[in-house]
Each structure stands twice: as C-alpha cells, then as structure tokens.
Structure 1
Amino acid sequence: MTAVTDGGTDRTGSPDAQAERGTDGRGRIPEAGREWNDGLIARRAAVKAVEPEPETAPDDDVRPPLVEAYVPSGGPLRPRLDALRELVGLSRARLDGATLAEAGRVLDEAAARQRLSSRHTVVAIAGATGSGKSTLFNTLAGAQISDTGLRRPTTAAPLACSWTDGAAGLLDRLAIPGRLRRRPQQGAADGDEALQGLVLVDLPDHDSAATEHREQVDRVLALVDAVIWVVDPEKYADAALHERYLRPLAGHAEITFVVLNQIDRLPGDAADQVLDDLRRLLDEDGMALGEHGEPGATVMSLSALTGEGVDELREVLGRFVQERTAAARRLSADVDAAAARLRPVYVAEGRPGLGERAREEFADRLAEAVGAAAAGQAAEREWRRNAGRACGTPWLRLWRWYESTRRPGSLERPARPEPPEEQLTARQLVEQAVRTLADEAADGLPGPWAQAVREAAVHGADGLPEALDTLAQRVGAEPSPGGSAVVATGVAGASGVAHSGRVGGKPPRPKWWPAAVLTQASMTLLQIFGGLWLVGQIVGVLEPGYLTPALVMLTGVVGGPLVEWSCAAAARGPARRYGQEAERQLRETASACGRARVLDPVAAELVRYREVRERFAAVTEISTTGG
C-alpha cells in the first residue's frame, strides 16, 4: 500500500453540491517546502481508543468565566493571560510590532472568546480531499447536512451544526453566515445528551486547489476550541497535513482528535498497522498521544460510511464537550505557542547585570580620564611646596626666586608627556569606559534588551567628557588645552589643583606653622646678629671676642636648615592626606557624574528587563532562577 499526496476518491458515493464561499481568513500557515517521506507501516500495534475519565458536567445554567478553568498542562489561565498582557505592554518600547503580533493576537482572541458562551465547545472537522470528513460530519449529526460526492472540492465553505441554542455569537466570530448553520436531526439531538453544547464545523479541504478554501481552513482553525483531523489510509502521511498543521500545532495535542477513516477498505489487520504507523508519524511530529491515561491527542479508527467506531468517537467527544475546558485548553496552548516564539527575546543565556566589580572599574576609568591620581599627587606637592615657602630659610627662598626670574619654570618642570600617538585623550578614555561597561551589562542579554542597554549607555555618554570637565573645574581642576576634558595623564588637572592651592581653595595650614615661621625668623635674626657682631669686632668698633658671636651666627646658620628639614618631615603626612583627599573628591565627582549619566540609565534598563523576564516566567510558569 502506497501513500499519495494529492487526489483521492471519497468512498461515500453520494451526490455533491457546491456551497457558497465564506469570507477571507487570516493567520494563514505557510506552504510546506519539501516532500514527505512517509515510511509506511513500520510496526503493528493494537488499536486503543483513549477514553478520559468522565467528570461531572456543570449545570447548564451556571456560566463560570472561561478564564477560571484550570488547564492541567498549563495551569490557571487567568494569571497567564494577565502576565502576557503586562509583558506585551512593557515590551512595546523595546520590541517591534511583528515580534509581539502573535502575542497580541492571542490576547485579542482570548478576550473575544471570554465574552462568548462558555457552555458551548466549538469543534472543527478538518481533512484532506476525499478523506470522508463530510460523511463523518453527517453521521455525527444524524442527517445529510454537508454535501458529499465525487467532485472535488466538495466542501467550499465552513458549515456549522449546533446541538443547543446560544451559539450564535461563536458562529458570528467564525464568520459563518446564517444560511450555513444547521441543527442535528431531532431524534439524534435528543439521543445525544452528552453532545449538548457541541458546535460542530465542517471545513473545506485543507489541500484544496482553491486558495480561498485553504485560507478559510487556516482562519477557522485559529478560532475553534478543538479540531478533529480526518485522515484516510491513502493520505494519512500527506506532507500538507503533517508539515503545515500537525507539526506546528503539536502543542495543541489535548484539543486534537486524529481519526483514521475508511477502515472498511482495509482487509484483515491492515487497519491496525496503518493506525500504528499514524501514531508513529504523530510522535515524530512532536504531538503527544493520549495513551495510558496521559494527556495528549486522541487517535482512533472508524468508518463513517458503515458506522464502525463512530459510537466510540461520539462517546469520547461527548465527555470532552461536557468537561467544558476545551476553550481554556485551546487558549492555554495558544499562550504556550506565543511564549515559545517570544522565548529568544526574553530568556538570557546567563545572569546579566552590573556587579560591584564592573561599577568600580567604570569609576576607575573615569577617575583616570579626569586625572584624579595625578591631581592628588599635584595637591600633595603643592602642600609640601607651601610648607617649604613658610618654613624655608630666607636665603634659599631668595635664591629660588632669583632662579625663577632668570629661567621661568626651571624649578618646576612637569613630567614629560607621552608622545601624541601613545597618549589617549580623556574623551577616548570615557568612550572606552562606557563601551566596556555597556558590553559587560549587556553580556548574555537577548538581542533587543542588549541593544537597549547599549543605547542607554551611549546616550548617557553623549556630553559626558564635557560634564566631567565642568565638574572638575568646580572642585579646582582646570581644563586641558584644546577645550576638551583633562588629558588622560592628568597633568593639566593635577596642575590646576596644585595652582589653586587645594580642591576648592588654598590648602589649610597646620597650627604649628606660625611657631615654625617664628623659629625660622629667630634663626635668621641670630645669623644677622652674629654676623654684625663679628663685623663690629673686626673693624674695631666692639671689643674683640670672636667665639661668642661666631657661636650665635653658627646657631642661626645651622638652625635654619634644621628647622626647614623638620618642617618638611612634619608636613609629609598632612601633605599625603591632603593629596589623597583631593584625589578622592575628584574621583567621587567623576563617579557621581558617570553614575547619573550612564550607570543609572543602564541599571534602569536592566531592571526593566528583569521585570519583563519575571512576567515572561509567569506566562510560561517557570522559575526565574534558571534564566
């Protein structure tokens, strides 16, 4: 026996009449792009029709909200829909409309279904040309409602049969006009108590040569609560069925029935073999099979023409309808499918974020850009230089002044700068710091959120060098030549701090400075007094006695440098602390500026991502600790 992918003969032999075509649909599934390798009849297995345990049907007068139904595979539906709605709202500014389109469609369809009857279950019968789906439709309804025949396609528009009243809104949603709405045969309707609430829809052939027929199939399949796929022994492995429908809708297994029709054509145990191979193909499609009490698709075999197996289908379908959870299960499966499509844009590979180490490194790079370390060193030198001016000997200070007038700058030469090609500007350092921070923050994030983090960092970096330069000036640093921020080596910033005396003003003097100045002045007076005393003795104005004036003068000569050295040693500690304070203030200023302009916006984007990640976890009902 060989499977074929087109054409096929319906075995009913009834006359056929063309029905009017319905409105255009939406949500078309793309055509398959390759041939199907069926590998028919791989093994034999006994046919088991999965019959779920019956549950007590709720009273018809009680109409609980649809979203309160519990879906075993997906959990309570209402929290998931609420989380998906919040997720879409939070993501609109970061994701394009095409990415969120399917989630928006699911929310719209869920809202539309909730407003309609929860007592009815809409089940579509779908199948290929000649599969006998219209014959099965008529058999379940107990009347010749849908036309059958040899001419293909036979069914041109969806035809509905409702076992109870109150389904008009549901059929309006399916765009089925009133002339194509039927009721089952009176005797059959009275006898099928379990089917009360069923709305059965006969669809056009999914492999019809008419494009509008396939569009209607795709449209209605996106809206019904459940679907019965009718296959025949010749086309049960058709690629148009498996690749375009069963495989993409594998997550909807709990609301899917797959019925092997026309088993009356198969001799002996061939029906069991074909049914077993059909189960194999469904398993390859990823569709769970409802066997051994597990949730999944119901797979059965029957003959709509002879009636064999139809009662079993009617019984299983009756229990399914009376559970009244099909609509919620369908919506839950739609939410699962939408979440699976959205997973790449929400689930990170690792644990993205900004750690303390990344923040400290960013602050270090900004401090380097404004020359905080060099400014602290310059402030320390300035403190010690002031101590030298206050406590140094007058003769040494006079000599330094003389040297400075002869060769300006000869005594305070700045460090030789690096060659221009080896020296980074502050702007380059800032840009490098921002880029490194953005890369670390975005590491592991899904594409859209990583891009949002980088954009926030780049936007914050715009004007950051100028802002750092302005803030540096406020704390005493001068801008570097060229109008940009201070250079990377920090020479300009350090010089600015040094020339200003301290960060924000002149460095304070310790309390011992006046005593040191007075002592140094005393040493100078001793030198002068001893020198005049000796001169007076030499010229004969005073009585000779060179030892005493020489000792006085020697005391002043030796005491002056000793006082200067003592003051320099005493100033070393305060000078170091003053330099560290200057570096700290400049570092904190740069860090605060970088935090306000870059770190806070980046952190806000990360918080936003964590929020949508939590919403996505609520949609999929998984823990956020794993992603």
Structure 2
Amino acid sequence: MTYDESLRARLDALRELVGLSRTRLDGATLAEAGRVLDQAAARRELSDRHTVVAVAGATGSGKSTLFNALAGVTISDTGVRRPTTAAPLACSWTDGAAGLLDRLGIPGRLRRRPVQSAGADTDLQGLVLVDLPDHDSAAPEHREHVDRILTLVDAVIWVVDPEKYADAMLHERYLRPLAGHAEVSFVVLNQTDRLPGDAADQVLDDLRRLLDEDGIALGEYGEPGATVLALSAYTGDGVGELREALGQFVSARGAAARRISADLDAAAARLRPVYAAGRRVGLSERAREEFNDRLAEAVGATAAGAAAERAWRRSAGKACGTPWLRLWRWYDDSRSPRSVRRSVPPVDEKATARQRVEQAVRTVGNEAADGLPGPWGQAVRDAAEKGAHGLPEALDELARDAGAPARKPPRPGWWPIAVLLQAMMTLVQIVGGGWLVGQIVGVMEPNLWPPVLLMIAGIVGGPCVEWSCRMAARGPARRYGLEAERKLREAAASCGRARVLDPVAAELLRYREVREQYVRVTGAVGPGESPGNGGMLGSLGAPGSGRGPGRSPARVSELSTTGR
C-alpha cells in the first residue's frame, strides 16, 4: 500500500530521530518507536485493498455472535462455556488477504469466507474480520493473542455488554491507552435486547460519557472519532447499521494509514519527556562571558596586566631617571642577592587555580544543560567535563608564558627627547660642578653664582624631567598593561572554547537536530517546512492531529541559539 506525503515524512523523521538518538538514549526508550517503524514498513508491503478489523471484547459480551452475524454464517463458536474463543479466527470478504493473515499469525485452518449471495456484502469488499479471544480470559495465552494482534490490525470493534461496559480493566488497559486511535475504533454496545424500554439509550449515553472521560473522541455530527453504536447481535437489531458503517470505513481504504498515524502520535507522546524542553535552552552569552572571566581569573590575567604595566613604568624610570639614581639602583642591586623569579606558582596557588577551572567547567555545563531533558542534559555535562581534561595544564602553560621574561616594552616617540633632556641636566650639573671646582683651586676667576645656579638647575631639572616622564608614562603603561591582560584573556578564552564550549555547542546542536526531527514526527511541521529559523526549539504541546482530547497540534517556539 502507499502512504501519503505527510505520513511518509513523519515516518522518515522518526527513522532519522531514532538513528540520531541511539547513542544518547537506551534501547527500551526507543523500542516503541522502532516497533512503529517496523509495523509501518511491514503493512506498507501488504495489500492496500484490504482492511483488517479485529472484534474484541470481554467474556460473555457476545463478540463471537456479532462476528457470525456480520459473516452471515456460524464461524466462531458461541455458547455458555467460557472462554468460548480460544484462538483468533479470520473471515475475509475478498481474496488476496493471505499475507495480512500470515502477519497476524492466523493459520489456514482458522480462515473462513462469509456467506456470499447475489448483491450482498458489496460494501464489505476488502474487509478482513478477526474474532479475538476474550481480553479478560483466565488463560494467559488468550490475553497474549489479544495484545499482539491489537498492535497489528487496522481497526478494532470493541464489543461491550450492559453489565460490563464500565469494566475498569477494559478502560484502563485498552480504551484509555488507545484513545489516540479513536478514528480506527468502533465501540458497540451489544445485547440491547436484554434492556427494557429506554434503558438502552441510558446505558449508551453513560458509555459515551465514560469514553469521553477516557479521552476518546466520539464521531458525532460528522466529526472524526470513534463510532459508537447500540445493537443486538442475537436479534439482528442494529447490525445493519454497523454493516453500513463498516462498509463506508472499508471503502475509504484509509484505515491502515490512519492506524499508523495514530501509532506515530502515541510513540511521539511517549518520547516527549526525552525530547521536549520545559523552557528555552542553550548557552547564553552571559554564561559564556562568565566562563571566560573565570578562566581569566584562574590564569591570572589581571595580575599579568598589572605586572606588564609595572614593567613599562620601570622601563620608563630606567630610561628617563637621573644618572645618579640609576647608579644608586645598580649599586643597591649588586649588593643584594639576585632574586629568582618563580616561573611556577606555589602548590597552593596551583590547587586554587585548578579548583577555579573545575568550578567554571561545572557551572557552564550545568548552565548549558539547564532545561534540557535528562539524557541530553547529561550528555552536555559529560561533554563539558570530558573536554575539560587537560584544560588546567593548558592554562598553566599560558600562565608560565605570560610570566616568562618578555622583551622590553615599546617606547613612545618622546622618549629620546626625555633622555636628551636628562643628559642635558646631567651635563649642566657637571659643568657647574667643574666651574665651581675651578674657582676653588684658583684656576678660574671667583664668581660663585653662575656655577651654583647651573648645579641647582641640573639638580632640580633632572628630577623634574623624571617626574614629567612618569606622568607622561602613566597612560601608555596603562594601555600596555590592558593589552597584555586582553591577550592573556583571549588566549585563555580560546583554550576554553576549543576544549569546553565547542564540545558543549556540538551536543546542543545534536539536540537541536533531534528536536527538529521530533517536531516533524508530531506532524506539527509539514514536509519541506523548517521547525525553526536557525534557533533551538522550545516546549511542545501534546502531539497529534488535533482530533479529540490529547491530540492538539504541537506548539513550537524558537529558542536562543547555542554558542558556536
């Protein structure tokens, strides 16, 4: 048989969804989806001219009597012995149903043909009717037959009687779980001949109420849903109405596709907790910035920037300071032992930095996983932790490189002028001192004020030049320190992005892909349409076709994209 484009697209999406999810979800979670795919493929290979309808009911409901009434001949045994039907029986109105019956596991000895008469049953051409054992039978193998065949047939006629139409087992085990299959369900109140007066109408109304509570859409006023009828298979009253409804149902040749579509809805509903996010998900820009800040703190970017700024200022002081001050510093350094700069942080500092990195990774992993269904959230956290292996060591290497002796800071264009002025101040001091000494030894004519003024000018001018240089160096030194801090921050962020953020983004992207496929499975997005404009998907409503309770169209909302 052939499926329409929409159903094929949903099946393809489910197949893709299962393939993408195998590494993240266990086999039990995907088992129902796999069964639906297998059943859809198997039914597609078989006849589309036949519609397989099972007659199911409880012990004593009269389903076998109804089966015989529809067939026009006694095929299924009836009587007071319970259970009467021990194995499924089949009656086919048209040839060519062997493959379908083989799929149901019904042997040839249990296959029958109805009574054929001229002009009779033309509306039932293509019907394959299957009489099931009692679903409440005391024999476990009988219940196993029922449960197995109910997953394979195209439609079901549920036969209930006035005494057990409200049976909890029927409603809780079968009708309520199959509420989404209302369009391929008939619910028949049998044995109305046993009810006096208008009691049949009252029981039928109460049955409709119970079905509505089960979430089964009722096919009233031309709306799609389950067909609910009252009849007496024993007297034949109402059987003709059921035959007419079956004839219209079979002639449409759409039961198999509707059954597969309902199975898809049920599978999507079961999978919803592992695909539908309860809120917008993804890694926000704020979380990424906080992660980068924590890595920068762990690598000591701020301290490295401050050290670079101090180095720039020291270089400026050495170049623009007075020669006497530089000579004194050289002498002081030569007298004190040379301090060895630590290239490796102390053990306690390294431990603290490692703890900061580990905390940063846990925080960003939890932030990215927040709102995701359990398996996908765990996959995101695992990706963050796995990617963080070796991250502390890589950051330690960055810190060591940042703390290693660097080349001299660049000098601005005014430095040569400052050095020249400082040299001139020194020269003025030397000239003034030499002039003064010459006067003292009598080589030069005595006149104290000029050499004294020269020496004062040199002594005062040198520190003034040095102070001016320090003031002028504050801006460049600050910019140099900030640039060093920025480079270290970017290096740490790049390391964290490659090892943690990119793997996390890859897992979020995988989740986005499976979510898009899940939306297509629910039928909320038609063939060729996109479930989102490049963003991740938000929470969905209940999957389905919008027919009856529990089958409203899925609501799709766009989520923020992950960091890539």
Determine helix, strand or coil for the equivalent of 2:142.
helix
**2:390 is the alignment partner of 1:463:** yes
Preserved CA contact (<8 Å) 2:315 2:408: no
Counterparts of 2:285 and 2:196, CA distance in 1 = 75
Residue of structure 1 in register with 2:116 after alignment: 186
Q: How does 1:360-509 map to 2 (within 5 A)?
A: 360-407=289-336, 425-473=352-400, 476-478=401-403, 496=404, 500-501=405-406, 505-509=407-411
TM-score between both structures, scaled by the size of structure 2: 0.90
Q: 1:121-179: per-residue Cα shift (whole Å, max 9, x none)?
A: 00000111111111111111111111112111111111111100111111111011111
Which of 237, 252, 264 is the equivalent residue of 2:166?
237
Counterparts of 2:38 and 2:367, CA distance in 1 = 38
Q: State the Cα distance separating 1:593 from its structure 2 match.
A: 0.7
Counterparts of 1:601 and 1:542, CA distance in 2 = 84
- How many percent identity over aligned positions? 77
Residue of structure 1 in register with 2:88 after alignment: 158
Counterparts of 1:470 and 1:319, CA distance in 2 = 78
Q: 1:100-139: per-residue Cα shift (whole Å, max 9, x none)?
A: 1101100110011111111110000011111111111111
AA aligned opposite 2:173: R
Q: State the Cα distance separating 1:88 from its structure 2 match.
A: 1.1
Residue of structure 2 in register with 1:546 after alignment: 448
Preserved CA contact (<8 Å) 1:246 1:285: yes
Residue of structure 2 in register with 1:625 after alignment: 557
AA aligned opposite 1:606: L
Which of 280, 288, 292 is the equivalent residue of 1:351?
280
Preserved CA contact (<8 Å) 1:66 1:327: no
Q: State the Cα distance separating 1:546 from its structure 2 match.
A: 1.6
Residue of structure 2 in register with 1:270 after alignment: 199
Unaligned runs of 5+ in 1: 1-64, 70-75, 479-495
Preserved CA contact (<8 Å) 2:51 2:128: yes
Counterparts of 1:537 and 1:378, CA distance in 2 = 50
Counterparts of 1:232 and 1:511, CA distance in 2 = 104
Q: How does 1:583-602 map to 2 (within 5 A)?
A: 583-602=485-504
Determine helix, strand or coil for the equivalent of 1:425.
helix
**2:475 is the alignment partner of 1:582:** no
Preserved CA contact (<8 Å) 1:614 1:624: no
Q: State the Cα distance separating 1:418 from its structure 2 match.
A: 13
Residue of structure 1 in register with 2:230 after alignment: 301
Preserved CA contact (<8 Å) 1:369 1:429: yes
Which of 76, 99, 111 is the equivalent residue of 1:169?
99
Preserved CA contact (<8 Å) 2:91 2:114: yes
Preserved CA contact (<8 Å) 1:370 1:469: yes
Which of 45, 48, 53 is the equivalent residue of 1:118?
48
AA aligned opposite 1:442: A
For residues 603 and 618 of structure 1, do their structure 2 counterparts lie closer, same or farther at Cα, with a shift above 3 Å needed? same
Residue of structure 2 in register with 1:139 after alignment: 69
Q: State the Cα distance separating 1:408 from its structure 2 match.
A: 5.1
Residue of structure 2 in register with 1:610 after alignment: 512
Counterparts of 2:431 and 2:244, CA distance in 1 = 129
Q: 1:34-59: per-residue Cα shift (whole Å, max 9, x none)?
A: xxxxxxxxxxxxxxxxxxxxxxxxxx
AA aligned opposite 1:560: G
Counterparts of 1:309 and 1:624, CA distance in 2 = 45
Counterparts of 2:434 and 2:504, CA distance in 1 = 75
Residue of structure 1 in register with 2:29 after alignment: 99
Determine helix, strand or coil for the equivalent of 1:624.
coil
AA aligned opposite 2:371: G
Q: 1:201-248: per-residue Cα shift (whole Å, max 9, x none)?
A: 000111111000000000000000000011111111112211111111
AA aligned opposite 2:363: T
AA aligned opposite 1:68: D
TM-score between both structures, scaled by the size of structure 1: 0.81
Q: State the Cα distance separating 1:280 from its structure 2 match.
A: 1.4
Preserved CA contact (<8 Å) 1:80 1:619: yes
Q: State the Cα distance separating 1:609 from its structure 2 match.
A: 1.1
Which of 430, 448, 470 is the equivalent residue of 1:568?
470
Preserved CA contact (<8 Å) 1:613 1:624: no
Counterparts of 2:298 and 2:556, CA distance in 1 = 39
Please, which moves more after superposition, 612-621 or 392-401?
392-401
**What is the aligned residue count?**
527
Preserved CA contact (<8 Å) 2:300 2:399: no
Counterparts of 1:274 and 1:345, CA distance in 2 = 41
**2:254 is the alignment partner of 1:254:** no
Determine helix, strand or coil for the equivalent of 1:187.
coil
Determine helix, strand or coil for the equivalent of 1:67.
coil
Q: How does 1:8-87 map to 2 (within 5 A)?
A: 65-68=1-4, 76-87=6-17
Preserved CA contact (<8 Å) 1:617 1:623: no
Counterparts of 2:521 and 2:224, CA distance in 1 = 21
Counterparts of 1:243 and 1:572, CA distance in 2 = 81
Q: State the Cα distance separating 1:515 from its structure 2 match.
A: 3.0
Please, which moves more after superposition, 608-617 or 340-349?
608-617
